[in-house]
Structure 1
Amino acid sequence: MTTPLQLSRGQVLAHRRRVGALDERLVSGADSLRHAAWAGLTDSVPRAALLSIHARVAGTTPSALDDPTLVQVWGPRFSAYVVAAADLAVFTLGRLAPSEARRRFAEDLADRLEAFLDGRGLPYGQAGRGVGVHPNQLRYAATTGRVLIRWDGARQPTVRTVPPPGTDAGDARLELVRRYLHVLGPGTAEGFARWAGLYARAAAPAFDALRPELTLVRTDVGDAWVLARDEPDLRADPGPAAPARLLPSGDAFSLLHGRDRELLVPDAAQRAALWTSRVWPGAVLVEGEVAGTWRRAEDRVTVSPWHLLSAAAREAVEREAASLPLPGLGGPVGVRWDE
């Protein structure tokens, strides 16, 4: 039996921050946007994807999501996601159901939607009625890779169709597993299924198929798998962490479930504050550790720290808040400390 590679909590979190560009922002550009969206950017909370990019890419502007290299889809768990256009197949076909009947349903729905829209983009309520289904069912058509959305949080999503990606669904599923393990690893088949919004029976075969590319590791929360190519980075000494980052609700760094949350936030009470039963708050990173939560209302950010922060740390958090690239505000964002 293979002896698992022992990894400390510090090694795992340092690796996740490095691959997630959370220790040092990337230079502005299309390659950096794709890097920031490597595991997808959840956008179910308005502006979340924009703020996730800002946490990773220097010079992010309020119009960053308009970059032609990005698209918006119903992605994992049928949530609104921003992904690189080059990776559309990974986050759509990668989640296509293995059942032949479900695949036919998704393809038929995409065919009907394409015929009805005839090149137009329409609010999804109108589009759903036009093809004779509840609008929410259009989310299933998204797994074909042929449906894009545009949603700003204020109105109904607009839907449009595009040509199908020229990628095999099985290959897309394998790449989706790789993205999960690279950004959120160590991981398990069960963890991947919850993250991707798949049934366990659909996720397990892809995980098994990748075993030649994986290394078994042991962490404080149990045994799991990492990409073998990530092992050198996981063994590396942690570098300097950023003074502060404000990660929005659903950011890839904190998009965890079950015991995986214990590694990021060991304290049970703090976990309950970050992963609430309703809309999650954002996570405040201070020198690489989650140090509290934050919420925003217009130009005011309320920060709830979990422990006493130094004056330097508070200043770093306030600088991050003031730099948030939010459109339509009359001035910089201010911080209210909820202590």
Structure 2
Amino acid sequence: MLEVSRKQALAYRIAEQGLHRSVADPYDLPLLDLGLQDSMRDTALLSLAARMPDPVTPESLVDDQRLALVWSHRGAPHFHRRTDLPELAAALVPIDEPDALARMLWQKKDIQAVDESPVDIIFTTARAIRKVVTKPMTKGAVSTEITKLLPPAYSRWCRPCNATHVHEQLMRIAALHGGARLEAGQSPATLAPLEERGRLSTRPVPAAVSRVLEQYLRFNGPATPGDAAGFVGTAKTCIRETWPDAVTEVKVDGRRTFVPNDRLAALENPPSPAGVRLLPPLDPYTQGRDKAVLVPDKARAKEVWKILGSPGAILVDGEILGTWRMKASGKRLTFALTEFDPLRRADRAAAEDEAARAASARGYPDFSVTWA
């Protein structure tokens, strides 16, 4: 059995995730096979800036008609290639009732209390979304309208909204099946009908689920079945029948993990990571589920992954050696960088260059950098 060190595994991930900046066109970034998570803090755009050799602009993702923003893995918004959406939708069809329930995540108990099949609940909601979303509509408007069409048990009283509406996670995991996408760059969140909706399919496609799990192992491997299930947003027990065949067991510092067969050579001889990258919160690299592998020091890990409002990570020669935050004030963007240990002068300068790239990506010509 192949055994690799933690540093070797991280060097492999950095290369697979495109952090060596070897791909010029965002559409060709292999990481889009899995998707690029976004948030209102432009995380997808900043993740792209960390991977593209040329500067990116605020329009790089929003205006690229080859891409679409949809609620996908775990109900989180991700950019995907439009051509990949049919297979993605197939991969998001629950395999069975326990899988459907597990995908409800924090609202699992609410759905469990409904005297109805969780699979049926998802697709009943999807049909309502398909009926309602025939033009761009805010998320709140969609929620209001589909709540009227759905059984009362699908909804709950929401104190922040001061209204009764459909469960949030339920709407998110049903949206793509309902032929709805998100309008990129819009606030508040706005849904729109997919230009090529296709038919609603409720049939499980185990092979499609297997491919998503295999893609996770490619970009975040070597990893465990539990890691992969966590990314998908389901329970480890729910992926036993869809675990990919073309994977090989690998030990990482004694830990039992897996990697796709066709990536073994890349894992054995990854290029050495070099240089500095500012990775935003929710970056695919720090989204790896095995946080103790990414940052073994528990105190430092707590600084990287906060319960609320995590910062970005400063990646230096393959190790996370600090955190960073940015704040906009008018037309000026301020970066606050915090190093765990004093960095070399050259690494500090490189980090400030990366801050300039991030500021440009967000459309701020005026910015400043402070160190702590």
TM-score (norm 2): 0.81
Distance 1:336 1:93 in 2: 46
Partner of 1:49, secondary structure, is: helix
Unaligned runs of 5+ residues in structure 1 are none
Distance 2:317 2:140 in 1: 44
The question of 1:241 aligning with 2:273 is answered yes
Out of 122, 133, 138, the residue aligned to residue 171 of structure 2 is 138
The question of 1:232 aligning with 2:232 is answered no
Letter in 1 for 2:96: S
Out of 284, 299, 317, the residue aligned to residue 252 of structure 1 is 284
Residue 106 of structure 1 contacts residue 143 of structure 1 at CA under 8 Å; is this kept in 2?
no
Give a deviation string over 1:49-107, Cα, whole Å, max 9, x none: 01111111233221011211111111222112112222224544323222363333323
Equivalent in the alignment of 1:121: 136
Cα shift at 1:110: 2.1
CA change 1:328–1:232 in 2 (3 A) is: closer
Equivalent in the alignment of 2:59: 63
Cα shift at 1:252: 0.8
Give a deviation string over 1:202-248, Cα, whole Å, max 9, x none: 222211xx23x111111126111111111101111x43434111111
Distance 1:305 1:263 in 2: 19
Distance 1:51 1:77 in 2: 21
Cα shift at 1:313: 0.3
The question of 1:157 aligning with 2:190 is answered yes
Out of 317, 320, 324, the residue aligned to residue 351 of structure 2 is 317
The question of 1:194 aligning with 2:210 is answered no
The question of 1:95 aligning with 2:127 is answered no
Distance 2:145 2:239 in 1: 33
The question of 1:11 aligning with 2:44 is answered no
Q: What is the count of residue pairs matched by the alignment?
A: 325
Distance 1:89 1:308 in 2: 48
Give a deviation string over 1:245-270, Cα, whole Å, max 9, x none: 1111111111133xx21211111111
The question of 1:31 aligning with 2:63 is answered no
Map 1:182-331 → 2, pairs under 5 A: 182-207=218-243, 210-211=244-245, 213-220=246-253, 222-236=255-269, 238-257=270-289, 260-298=290-328, 299-324=333-358, 325-329=360-364, 331=365
Bigger mean CA offset, 196-205 vs 14-23:
196-205
Distance 1:285 1:333 in 2: 21
CA change 1:320–1:314 in 2 (3 A) is: same
Partner of 2:237, secondary structure, is: helix
Cα shift at 1:10: 1.8
CA change 1:185–1:315 in 2 (3 A) is: same
Bigger mean CA offset, 131-140 vs 173-182:
131-140
Distance 1:302 1:124 in 2: 33
Distance 2:141 2:279 in 1: 34
CA change 1:249–1:126 in 2 (3 A) is: same
Distance 2:21 2:363 in 1: 27
Residue 93 of structure 1 contacts residue 143 of structure 1 at CA under 8 Å; is this kept in 2?
no
The question of 1:80 aligning with 2:77 is answered yes
Equivalent in the alignment of 1:336: 370
Give a deviation string over 1:144-191, Cα, whole Å, max 9, x none: 272211253731333434513899732221110111000001122211
CA change 1:283–1:164 in 2 (3 A) is: farther
Distance 1:91 1:205 in 2: 18
Letter in 1 for 2:125: L
Distance 2:262 2:129 in 1: 41
Equivalent in the alignment of 1:47: 42
Bigger mean CA offset, 167-176 vs 220-229:
167-176
Distance 1:311 1:120 in 2: 53
Distance 2:293 2:342 in 1: 22
Residue 89 of structure 1 contacts residue 172 of structure 1 at CA under 8 Å; is this kept in 2?
no
CA change 1:145–1:108 in 2 (3 A) is: closer
| Aligned-residue identity in percent | 27
Cα shift at 1:328: 4.5
Partner of 1:294, secondary structure, is: strand
Letter in 2 for 1:183: F
Unaligned runs of 5+ residues in structure 2 are 98-116, 151-164
Residue 70 of structure 2 contacts residue 176 of structure 2 at CA under 8 Å; is this kept in 1?
no
TM-score (norm 1): 0.88
Letter in 2 for 1:204: R
CA change 1:198–1:145 in 2 (3 A) is: farther
